[in-house]
Structure 1
Amino acid sequence: MTGFDWGALMHAGIRGLGLKPAEFWALTPAELMLMLGAGRGPAPMSRARLEELASAFPDNRIDRG
């Protein structure tokens, strides 16, 4: 079983989210993780990855005139 880094979680909840200590301690770990944005899916594509894909798959202009 993995433990929690309570110091980091308290910092994120109290300083990052602006929770009062009583509000922080009233949350379940699942509620806190939801508020912190955990599990929202994959990270957005970076600019470097976009440029890599644009180079690999360039747009081909079709002259329709």
Structure 2
Amino acid sequence: MGFGLGVLRLSPDAFWRATPREIAAAADGLTRRHAGPKPLAKAELAALIARFPDEETSHGRT
């Protein structure tokens, strides 16, 4: 309760309506434990750009 009300600053109503999964996701977001995939390396980005180039329209813009 201290985390939900104190750290997340949820109202009591919002706290009691939140599922344990939602509270856990909020905790993960604060600790950056599951911040998502690592950024692409420069070579990986270059390979994707080469494989999927932007297509130009008839106006010369994408």
TM-score (norm 1): 0.43
TM-score (norm 2): 0.45
